[in-house]
């Protein structure tokens, strides 16, 4: 079994989110440019230049970056794919995340120096399939989301040198291991090429067919109300981290969400960082991590299928709403000079706002004409007496979309966030 410390792997949908994930506790991040990446929307946030900047940022801090090349190419794209692999290899990521066997072979031929991680899209559920990919030169397998912990352990027994990565948090697809065709059929956007329209989140109305009369009649729970019949709750395995770690079979814990917010990147990285570290310190406390994770926007949570088989689950779907809801709003983000912040929601004078910091940061309390930074009930808060721009213009308030840099009463760490409770959207 595995004796190495388990890796925490976070999504990086942009350069900013890459930095946030690392500062808030991730050991590694995964990201990609738009070509052949299964999150085209996130990939568009990166150019080859900014992706290289992100890799350099991570490596300077002893962290890793895995590049996603996990789309399923058509024949017409093969030559472009070859050039893309060459270009990505030049950036020196720590691994390629690949889904298709042919692309695995191509990566080994073009860039043998880059480790290959097999995407969850390859649907590996057993040691026989794992062995095939190991023989092809794959170093790590991101197992199918439908796999059980028992089966993960069995794969590790047969292939002790192969690294195993599992998803522990994030959105769940309606389709088996995310290999969905619904979006392609309904919207012309192919999920397995990175452009999923999230059709499973749509509100659907059911109809029953009468073949004898060639008629349809509508099935309604309530008049005018459809049903979210495909809408999975989000995965959340934070309460099961001890079981996972005790198995000794898992090398990396992966968080989904390259298209999610910077706040999501921060909270999930920090919560799971604490969960992992607390496990090794024998101070694991599931409720502590859940309190933080519930502040992120979500569709409700499920512990998915690692611990329980799919047919044993009765609470994995959200039939009430599709939009993610959370209990907190991010109202500010500290910029690189550590003396100003940018407003992300709304800020008013004389309001106590909670400060959410990166890992292991110690804050200094202060008070002056701009405002104060103070501690209360083991949490830090900021309160502005004045809202001053970097040009000393005083504002009555500041709202999202405002591009002014707003002065802080004292220095705060880069990428620190301010958050306020969103009482109207609290999820119980």
Q: For residue 43, what pLDDT is reported? A: 46
Q: Do residues 351 and 252 both lie within one domain?
A: no
pLDDT (tens digit, 0 to 9) for every residue of the chain, 428 residues total? 456 899 999 999 999 999 999 999 999 999 998 767 655 544 468 999 999 999 999 999 999 999 999 888 889 999 999 999 999 999 999 999 999 999 999 999 999 999 999 999 999 999 999 999 999 999 999 999 889 999 999 999 999 999 999 999 998 876 666 667 677 767 777 666 566 777 777 777 777 777 777 777 666 556 555 667 677 889 999 999 999 999 999 999 999 999 899 999 999 999 999 999 999 999 999 999 999 999 999 988 989 889 876 566 667 777 777 777 788 999 999 999 999 999 999 999 999 999 999 999 999 999 999 999 999 999 999 999 999 999 999 999 999 999 999 999 999 999 999 999 986 544 43
What pLDDT shows up at residue 428? 36
Assign residue 155 the CATH number of its domain: 3.20.20.70
Determine the pLDDT at residue 212.
73
Task: Give the single-character DSSP code of 277.
Answer: H
pLDDT value at residue 57: 98
Q: Which of 219, 250, 283 is the last residue of a domain?
A: 219
Question: Measuring CA to CA, how many Å separate 147 from each of 77, 151, 233, 425?
Answer: 31, 7, 17, 33
Based on the fold, state whether residues 164 and 50 are members of the same structural domain.
yes
Count structural domains, the chain.
3
Domain boundary among 219, 254, 279: 219
**Rounded (to 5) percent helix, strand, coil in the chain:** 30, 25, 45
CB count within 10 Å of CB 42 equals 24
CA dihedral 86, 88, 94, 97 (to 10 degrees): -90
Asked if residue 252 and residue 368 are part of one domain, the reply reads no
For the record, the structure tokens of 143 come out as 């197992």
CA nearest neighbour of 401 among 349, 344, 353: 344
Q: How far apart are CA 284 and CA 266, in angstroms?
A: 20
CA 411 distance to own-chain centroid: 29
Is residue 227 included in any domain, yes or no?
Answer: no
Specify whether the CB–CB gap between 64 and 27 falls below 8 A.
Answer: yes
Total count of residues recorded for the chain: 428
151 and 114, same structural domain? yes
The reply to whether 336 falls in a domain is yes
In a domain, 317, yes or no: no
Same domain, 18 and 56: yes
d(CA 381, CA 365): 9
Q: How far apart are CA 357 and CA 341, in angstroms?
A: 13
207 and 129 part of one domain: no
Q: 251 and 335: one domain?
A: no
CB 15, CB 45: distance < 8 Å: yes
Q: Write down the pTM of the prediction.
A: 0.88
Statement to judge: residues 335 and 411 lie in one domain = yes
- Residue 319 is assigned to a structural domain of this protein: no
The reply to whether 268 falls in a domain is yes
User: Would residue 111 count as lying in a domain?
Assistant: yes
Which of 312, 342, 364 corresponds to the end of one domain? 312
Q: Tell me if 70 sits within 8 A of 99, measured CB to CB.
A: yes
Q: How far apart are CA 177 and CA 141, in angstroms?
A: 14
Q: Which two tokens stand for residue 277?
A: 């570290």
CB 384 within 8 A of CB 370: yes
pLDDT at 42: 45
User: CA–CA separation, 280 vs 331, rounded Å?
Assistant: 34
What separation in angstroms does the CA of 155 have from each of 136, 143, 148, 212, 245?
Answer: 16, 10, 11, 51, 15
Parallel, antiparallel or unpaired: strands 234-236 and 206-210: unpaired
Place of tokens 């103070």: 374
Q: For position 342, which CATH number holds? A: 2.40.30.10
Range of the domain at 196: 176-219
Residue 317 has φ and ψ, to the nearest 5°, of: -110, 145
Q: Are residues 155 and 241 in the same domain?
A: yes
Q: Where are the alpha helices (DSSP H) in 70-212?
A: 78-90, 101-110, 127-135, 149-158, 182-187
Q: What is the largest CA-CA distance in the chain?
A: 80
Helices and strands of the chain, counted as H and E runs? 11, 24
Residues 310, 128, 118, CA angle at the centre, nearest 5°? 75
Same structural domain, 42 and 131: yes
Do 151 and 119 belong together in one domain? yes
Cα–Cα distance measured from residue 11 to residue 29, given in angstroms and rounded to the nearest whole number: 6
């Amino acid at each position: 079994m595995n004796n190495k410390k388990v890796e925490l792997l976070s999504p990086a949908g942009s350069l900013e989110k890459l930095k946030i994930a690392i500062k808030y506790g991730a050991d590694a991040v995964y990201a990609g440019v738009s070509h052949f990446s299964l999150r085209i929307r996130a990939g568009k946030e990166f150019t080859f230049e900014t992706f290289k900047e992100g890799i350099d940022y991570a490596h300077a801090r002893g962290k890793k970056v895995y590049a996603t090349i996990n789309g399923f190419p058509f024949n017409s794209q093969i030559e472009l794919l070859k050039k893309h692999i060459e270009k990505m290899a030049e950036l020196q990521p720590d691994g390629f995340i690949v889904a298709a066997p042919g692309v695995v072979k191509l990566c080994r031929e073009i860039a043998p120096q880059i480790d290959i991680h097999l995407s969850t899209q390859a649907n590996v559920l057993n040691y026989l399939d794992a062995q095939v990919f190991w023989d092809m030169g794959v170093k790590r397998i991101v197992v199918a989301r439908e796999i059980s912990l028992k089966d993960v352990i069995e794969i590790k027994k047969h292939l002790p040198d192969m690294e195993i990565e599992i998803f522990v948090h994030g959105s769940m697809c309606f389709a088996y291991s995310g290999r969905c065709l619904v979006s392609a059929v309904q919207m012309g956007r192919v999920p397995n090429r990175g452009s999923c329209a999230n059709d499973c989140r749509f509100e659907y109305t059911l109809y029953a067919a009468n073949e004898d009369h060639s008629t349809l009649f509508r099935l309604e729970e309530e008049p005018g109300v459809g049903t979210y019949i495909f809408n999975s709750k989000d995965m959340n395995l934070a309460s099961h981290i001890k079981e996972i770690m005790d198995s000794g079979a898992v090398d990396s814990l992966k968080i989904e969400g390259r298209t999610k917010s910077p706040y999501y990147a921060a909270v999930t990285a920090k919560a799971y960082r604490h969960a992992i570290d607390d496990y090794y310190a024998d101070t694991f406390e599931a409720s502590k991590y859940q309190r933080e994770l519930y502040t992120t926007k979500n569709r409700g949570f499920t512990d998915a299928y690692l611990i329980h088989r799919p047919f044993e689950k009765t609470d994995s779907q959200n039939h009430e709403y599709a939009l993610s809801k959370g209990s907190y709003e991010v109202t500010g983000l500290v910029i690189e000079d550590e003396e100003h912040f940018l407003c992300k929601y709304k800020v008013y004078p004389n309001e106590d706002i909670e400060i959410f910091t990166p890992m292991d940061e110690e804050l200094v309390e202060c008070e002056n004409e701009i405002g104060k930074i103070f501690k209360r009930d083991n949490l830090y808060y900021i309160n502005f007496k004045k809202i001053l721009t970097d040009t000393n213009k005083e504002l009555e308030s500041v709202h999202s979309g405002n591009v002014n840099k707003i002065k802080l009463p004292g220095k705060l760490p880069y990428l620190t966030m301010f958050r306020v409770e969103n009482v109207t959207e609290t999820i119980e």
